[in-house]
Structure 1
Amino acid sequence: MKPFLAIIVALSVAGLAKCAIIGRVVCDSSIAGDIYGFGATPVNGTIADRISFDVYQGSVVLVTNVASYNTRSTSGFLELNDLMSQYASQPFMVLAFPSTQFNREVPESNDEMMDALFYVRPGNGFVPTFPVFQKTLVNGDGEDAFFTFIKSGCSYTEEEFNVDLEYSPMTVSDFRQPFEKILVGKDGKPYFRYHASVDVSVVIADIDALLAA
Structure 2
Amino acid sequence: MTNKKMRSACEAILFASGEPVEAVRIAEALDIDNKTVSSLLSDLADELNKRESGICLLKLGSRYQLCSRVEYASQVRAVLEKKKNTPLSNAAFEVLAVVAYNQPVTKAYIEQIRGVDCTGVISTLCQRGLLEEKGRLELPGKPLLYGTTPDFLRCFCLESLSELPELPDRPENDDGEETEIDSTRGEQLKINISEDSALEEEILSAEKEGEE
What's the TM-score bracket when you normalise by the shorter of the two chains? under 0.3
Work out which of the two has the higher radius of gyration on C-alpha atoms and give 1 or 2: 2
Greater per-residue helix proportion: 2
TM-score, structure 1 as length reference: 0.23
Q: Which structure is richer in relative contact order (CA contacts within 8 A, separation 6 or more)?
A: 1
TM-score, structure 2 as length reference: 0.23
